[in-house]
Amino acid sequence: MTSVREIFDSMAYGPAPESNAEALAWISAHQGRFGHWINGAFTTPGRMFDSRNPATGHVLATVSQGTAEDVGKAVAAARAAQGKWAQMGGAARARVLYALARLVQKHARLFAVLESMDSGKPIREARDIDLPLVARHFYYHAGLAQLLDSEQPGFAPLGVCAAVIPWNFPLLMLAWKVAPALAAGNTVVLKPAEYTPLTALFFAEISREAGLPKGVLNIVTGDGDTGAALVAHPDVNKIAFTGSTTVGAKIRTATAGSGKALTLELGGKSPYIVFDDADIDSAVEGLVDAIWFNGGQVCCAGSRLLVQEGIAERFHAKLKRRMDGLRIGDPLDKCIDVGAIVDPVQLATIRGMVEGSEGNVYHAACAVPEGCYYPPTLITGLNSASRLMQEEIFGPVLVSMTFRTPAEAVELANDSRYGLAASIWTENVNLALDMAPKVKAGVIWVNATNLFDAAAAFGGVRESGFGREGGWEGLMAYLRPVTKAKALVAPKAVPAPAEPVIEGIDRTAKLYIGGKQARPDGGYAQAIWSPKGKLLGHVGLGNRKDIRNAVEAAHAAKGWGRATGHNRAQILYYMGENLSARAAEFAARIKDETGRDGGAEVEASINRLFTYAAWADKYDGAVKQVPMRAVALAMNEPVGVIGALCPDEAPLLGFVSVMAPAIAMGNSCVLVPSQSAPLSATDFYQVLDTSDLPGGVVNIVTGAHQELAKPLAGHLDVDAVWSFSSTSLSAMIETEAAGNLKRSWVNHGRSRDWFGAAGEGREFLRHATEIKTIWVPYGE
C-alpha cells in the first residue's frame, strides 16, 4: 500500500473517473439510433454510420447519413419558420436564448460527458472550459437580441443560415454559430462533424424546453457530402464554416456569384513568442495550454514556438521536464491532461507528419495507452521553410525555432500563410503592445493563451479565413442593411462619331502607379468620346502586368497604415480643398463624359472626402467587458492592399466613395475607374499629387473591367477586392479570391445610391478594416 509520504514525494495522481451512466442512458433511450432533427423532431433513421468513442474504439451510437433530400427538408423547414421568428422581435428572441443558456447550465454535466466520450477530449476541459463558454454565448446573445432593434435600426436578418462545424469543439462551435444567427432573427440548418454529432443532437432535443419554435433550428448529420449539399442548396442565404483551409477555399469557390453571405474560420499555425525577459515558468505553463489543450486539435493552437536565443536552451529543458509530467489516458478520468486523438485517420496523419520531419524529435517520457493516443512532442532544429513550421499538424506536436531581436521575431511570426492567433510573452508591456499590431493575426494574447469570450471577436486573416465570431462584430455577419437596390444597367460606351469634333492639343491620360504617371505596359489606348461626338482624350488600356506593378507600389506604401488617423485626416481634407478649388473644371469634365450636369456630383465628392477625413481618427475600437481580470481590446486595423473596381454610374463620386474610406483607414489601394467615363479619375491624380499623399497609397489603372478584374482578384498580394462595376463580375471575382481566401465585397449586379446614405458610412469602414482582438490580463 502506498504511504502518504510516498504520494507527496511522487505527486502522483490517483484515478478520478467520471461516471458516464447518464450519457449512456440518454443514448439508450433512443435505442442508440438517431435520425436528423428537422422541424422540431427526430426523423426516422435512414442509412446509418457509427459514432465511436475514440478512447476505446467502441460504438456509442449510430446516426443518419444525410442526403440531399434530407438537407432540402431541413432548409424548407427553416425557410417556413424564418419569417415568424424574425417578426417576434429581438426582445422575444432574447427570452428564448436566455432559456437556452439556462438549459445548457442545467444539463452541463451530461453535455460534458457526452462531449468527452464523443470527441476524446479530457472531461476537465469539456466541463470547465467548453460548457461555461457555451452558456456564456447564449447569455450574451440574449442580450444582443434584446438590444438589437434599438441599437441596429435599418438591418434585417439574412434568412436561412447553414452552419458547418468541426469535431474539435462540437458544442462550443454550435454555440458560436447558432447563438448569433438566432439572435439576429435567422433560422439555422446545422451540419455537425461526422465524428462528433451527439451533443448537437442532445442540444436540439432540449431546445424544445426553451420554447424554440419548430424549424428554427434543424440538424442534419452526415459526412462531407452532406455538408456540400447544404452549402450548395439554393435557398440558403448564409454559410458559416469552421474547418480546414482546404475545405474553406472549396466553399468560397462553390458559392462564388451566388449572393450567399459567407464567413470562414479556418486553420492556423499560431506563433508562441517568448522573449528573454518573460516569466519562463509561466510561459512554459501557458505553452502546455497552448499546444496540448484538446490534444493540440485546436485551430489556434500555439503550435509554433519562437523563443529568444539567449534563453532557448533553458526554456526547452524546462518544457521537456513539464512535458514528461503530463498525464495521458482515459478522457473521462478527471486527472488526465491529454486525451485521445479524435480518430485513427487523424492519428495516422500526425504520425506521418512527425516521422517525415528533419528536426530533432522529443516525445514526452510519459506513459501512452494503447489505442488512439499520441504523446506530447517537441521538434527543434527546424528552419522557417521546414514543412512542419508551415503546415498545420492538428495534434499534440510543437515545433520550435529561435530568434534574436523583436524585428526577427515579427518576421518569423508572419512567415506563414495563416493568421489566426498569436501569443506574446514578455514582462515589458511596451514591447508587447509594440509587437501586437505587427504580428499578422486576428487575435493576440499577451502573457496568456486560449482566452475566449462571447464579447470579444475571434477570427483570422490571410488563409485563416475572414469574418469574426463574438461581439457586435460577429452579430453583424448575420444581418443585412435594408435597401432597395435595383439591377445595374451598364452604360454603353460612346462610339466614335461619323464626324468627330476635335478641339485643342491631343492629351492622353496615363496610369497612376507609385505616385507617378506611367504608360500602360501593352502600349494600347482608348479614345473617350462625349455624347455629342467630341473627342475628350485617350486613356491607357492596362493589363495584368500593370496590375502587378500597381500592387507592388501599393505594398511599398504600406507604411501609410502606421500613420496616425489625424495625419490621414489632414490629407483627406487637403484633397477636398484641392478638389473644391477645381470644382468647375471637374463639373465640366463630368458633363462632357456623361451629358449631365456635374456640379452636384463634384459637391458630393468634396463632402465625401470631408466625411472620411472626419472618420479617419474617429472610427474607434472598443474595450470589451470580459468576465475575467483582463482587458480585451478590439482594435480596427487596415486590411492591407485593397483592389477595387469603381462604379460607372457616378464616375467621380463613385471613385472617391471607394478610395476615401480605404485610405482613411490606412489601406493602400489599386483602383480601376469607371470604364465608360474614366477621365474624372485620371484628372483626380493631379489632386492626389497636390495633397501630400505618399506615392503608392492610391494607384489607378484604367481599362476594361472584364480584363482587369481577374488579375486583380487573383493576385496573392491583394488582401481584399471590391467590385461596384456595372459589368457582371461578381462570380469570377469571388472564384479568383479563393486563391488566398482574400475578403471580397461585390455588388452581384445591384445598384447603389452613391448620392445617398448607401454611398458612405460604417458599411464601407467595416469592409476597410479588420478587427484585431488583443487580450491583456492584469493583476498578480
Residue 15 has what DSSP assignment?
A: P
Distance CA 669, CA 642 (A): 5
Distance CA 325, CA 285 (A): 12
> Which of these, 119, 111, 124, lies nearest to 55 by C-alpha position?
119
Burial level of 306, CB count in 10 A (0-12/13-18/19+)? Answer: buried
Output Rg (C-alpha) for the chain, integer angstroms: 28
Q: Characterise 259 by phi-psi region: left (phi > 0), alpha (psi -120 to 50), beta (else).
A: left
Give the SS3 label for residue 226. helix
Give the SS3 label for residue 184. coil
Distance CA 528, CA 683 (A): 14
Mention every residue, 6+ apart, whose C-beta is less than 8 A from residue 212.
Answer: 40, 96, 100, 182
Beta bridge partners of 527: 538
- The secondary element (H helix, E strand) that includes residue 52 is strand 48-52
> Which of these, 594, 712, 613, 726, lies nearest to 659 by C-alpha position?
613
> 763-774 burial, b for 16+ CB within 10 Å, e for fewer?
bbbbbbbbbbbb
Distance CA 639, CA 355 (A): 38
Instruction: Indicate which residue of 18, 115, 125, 299 is catalytic.
Output: 299
| Residue reference for cell 447558432 | 178
Are the CB atoms for 477 and 261 separated by under 8 Å?
A: yes
Cell of 570: 489632414
Cα 203 from chain centre: 26
HSE-up of residue 27 (Cα within 13 Å, Cβ side): 24
Instruction: Indicate which residue of 265, 637, 734, 736 is catalytic.
Output: 265
For residue 148, count other CB atoms closer than 10 A to its CB: 24
Cα 33 from chain centre: 36
Among positive and negative, which fits the CA dihedral 276, 278, 283, 284? Answer: positive
> Which of these, 319, 322, 101, 93, lies nearest to 188 by C-alpha position?
93
Check if 603 is active-site: no
Check if 372 is active-site: no
> Which of these, 697, 699, 705, 639, lies nearest to 670 by C-alpha position?
699
Distance CA 769, CA 437 (A): 13
Residue 367 has what DSSP assignment?
A: -
User: Which residues are the active-site residues?
Assistant: 265, 299
